Amino acid sequence: MIKIGKYEVKNEIRMYEGAQIFDIDFHGGTVCIWALINTSGSEVIRRFRSFDTGVAISLDIVPDLRYIGSVHMRLSPKDHGKVHHVFELVD
């Protein structure tokens, strides 16, 4: 069955194989991604990393990063908040 899945962003997420990530946002107090999934397939572990603006990133992992999206973490309309940039680690 094809449907849309929602996942809290963590370093490792168990997702259905071939899941197509199409959105990322701050929802319910946490960063989440939404993906088109096929629930009749098998699950795999996918690895993610999140970096704040201005934070150093190790050159060792830069070639292995695939950009997913950026999330503006505002707790109120007057709050400028932080911006998290989320990447998937790929082999």
Q: Dump pLDDT digits (tens) for 4-34.
A: 999 999 999 999 999 999 999 988 889 999 9
What local confidence, expressed as pLDDT, does residue 66 receive?
Answer: 94
The arithmetic mean of pLDDT across residues 53-76, rounded, is 86
> pLDDT at residue 75 above 80?
no
The rounded distance, in Å, linking the Cα atoms of 49 and 62 is 11
> pLDDT at residue 77 above 70?
no
> What's the pTM?
0.85
